[in-house]
Amino acid sequence: MKIIIHGGFFSESDQSHEVKIEKQNSLKKIAKQSFEFLQSHSAEETVVHAVKLLEDDLLYNAGMGSQIQSDGKIRMSASLMNGQTQKFSGVINIENVKNPIEVAQVLMKEDDRVLGGNGAKIYATENGFEDFSTEIPQRRKEYEEKLKTGGKGTVGCVALDREGRLSAATSTGGKGFELVGRISDSATVAGNFANEFCAVSCTGVGEDIVSNATAAKIVIRVTDGFSIKDAVEKTFYELKEIDGFAGAIAIDKNGNIAHQDSHPTMVFASYDGENFEVFE
């Protein structure tokens, strides 16, 4: 059993050393809690659990920490993929729910598994999700500072359970100040993808990740016989050719873990029940 999570990027130029320590401690705590959850739950259930914890943490750009778009509203996207069933579900630009990843999880039972905008919100309401504003009081003040401070980054989790099943989940609050209607990578197979061989979650600039088909490329290469290390390295070499900005976390069916970023530093943590690896 293995688990790895990410929470976007950290920049020394616009975030303090104290914030860095907070993120390291937060990621270690969430990775440990999620690994413990994995002991008695499936990979799919675990990645949802971990991403929900990340969505509830104001340090990250998802759920409660989501950025504000150019019209002053918060819209969130999240997706889930089960490597065993090959089912993908997600919500795009959903408003006024606390945990978009939970809506994506419920959508797994539907034939129509990716919903956007008002349709996603209607579905969430019909399935018992309460109306919830993720705009905490200071978010409106931060709205005026977003262009100067930069984004905090998407969150995600990849897990391998005791049955050898892989799953990936990713959630984002957008990049901040984006055009209304902009769609990120997080609820696409470019940003979140899994099969029986490998699972990947990405963070970074959505347009770059989509252009590079980052998550899907890594998984397909592992499926075709690449080592996970080589699959990640080749995909990021191709990303570099378009000057892409991204980070990725991945686990293969044998429990090998990989992570890479094109513009350091992606914040991540992995835990195997004994040892942590945390970004520095």
HSE toward the beta carbon, residue 170, CA cutoff 13 A: 32
| Collapsed DSSP state (helix, strand, coil) of residue 105 | helix
Burial class, 113, CB count within 10 angstroms (exposed 0-12 / middle 13-18 / buried 19+): middle
* CA dist list (Å): 72 to 75, 96, 224, 246: 10, 13, 45, 26
CA–CA gap between residue 45 and residue 40 (Å, rounded): 10
Residue 90 among known ligand-binding residues:
no
Helix/strand/coil for 108:
coil
d(C-alpha 74, C-alpha 61), whole Å: 11
Q: Are β-strands 257-261 and 87-94 bridged in parallel, bridged antiparallel, or unpaired?
A: unpaired
11 marked as part of a ligand binding site: no
Q: Are strands 87-94 and 114-116 parallel, antiparallel or unpaired?
A: parallel
Does 191 belong to an annotated binding site?
no
185 annotated binding-site participant: yes
pLDDT at 230: 98
Q: Which of 134, 154, 170, 172 is catalytic?
A: 154
Strands 246-252 and 198-204: antiparallel
Q: Is 251 annotated as a binding residue?
A: no
14 Cβ neighbours under 8 A, 6+ residues apart: 148, 149, 150
Ordered structural domains, the chain, with CATH: 2-278 (3.60.20.30)
Based on the residue annotation, tell me whether 154 is a catalytic residue of this protein.
yes
165 is in an annotated binding site: no
Q: Which amino acid is at 248?
A: A
Q: How far is CA 210 from the centre of its chain?
A: 14
Task: Round to whole Å and give the CA distance between 10 and 19.
Answer: 9
Task: Give, for 232, the enclosing helix (H) or strand (E).
Answer: helix 228-241
Q: Which phi and psi (to 5°) does residue 90 adopt?
A: -170, 165
- Give the pTM: 0.93
pLDDT at 16: 86
Which pLDDT does position 143 carry in this prediction?
54
Q: Is 252 annotated as a binding residue?
A: no
pLDDT score recorded for residue 152: 60
Q: Which residues pair with 3 in a beta bridge?
A: 159, 271
**AA letter at 9:** F
Please report, in tens digits, the pLDDT of each residue of the chain (280 residues total): 999 999 999 887 678 899 999 999 999 999 999 999 999 999 999 999 999 999 999 999 999 989 888 888 999 999 999 999 999 999 999 999 999 999 999 999 999 999 999 999 999 999 999 999 877 666 556 555 554 444 467 999 999 999 999 999 999 999 888 999 999 999 999 999 999 999 999 999 999 999 999 999 999 999 999 999 999 999 999 999 999 999 999 999 999 999 999 988 999 999 999 999 999 9
